[in-house]
């Protein structure tokens, strides 16, 4: 199993408020890394995004709640619905 790639997102970070300060080579490199991560592994860990920690933690909780809700939903499904999905 491949490890989840880590992509340094600082070249496109939210902390950069002036587009003129974006380095074109860094942006292209980041885009290539993202494309490679999503096409080979399917997931990516973004570091240095510029998001405040409380936003990152909130998103983690939302993902966890969604996963739990999926487990709860699947335990309540009717067998006929499962056959239609398969």
Helix (H, G, I), strand (E, B) or coil at 14: coil
Structure confidence at residue 54 (pLDDT): 75
Structure confidence at residue 32 (pLDDT): 93
| pTM of the shown model | 0.57
Structural domain spans, the chain: 1-50, 51-86
Structure confidence at residue 78 (pLDDT): 56
CA distance 72 to 69: 5
CA distance 28 to 33: 9
Pairing mode, if any, of strands 45-47 and 6-8? parallel
Q: pLDDT (tens digit, 0 to 9) for every residue of the chain, 86 residues total?
A: 678 899 998 887 777 677 777 788 888 999 999 999 999 988 888 888 887 777 767 766 666 666 666 666 566 555 554 454 54
């Amino acid at each position: 199993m491949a490890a989840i790639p880590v992509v340094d997102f600082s070249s496109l970070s939210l902390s950069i408020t002036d587009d003129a300060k974006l380095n074109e080579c860094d942006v292209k490199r980041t885009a290539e890394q993202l494309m490679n991560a999503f096409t080979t592994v399917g997931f990516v860990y973004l570091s240095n995004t510029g998001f405040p920690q409380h936003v990152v933690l909130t998103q983690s909780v939302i993902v966890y709640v969604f996963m739990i809700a999926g487990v709860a939903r699947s335990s309540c499904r009717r067998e006929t619905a499962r056959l239609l999905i398969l």
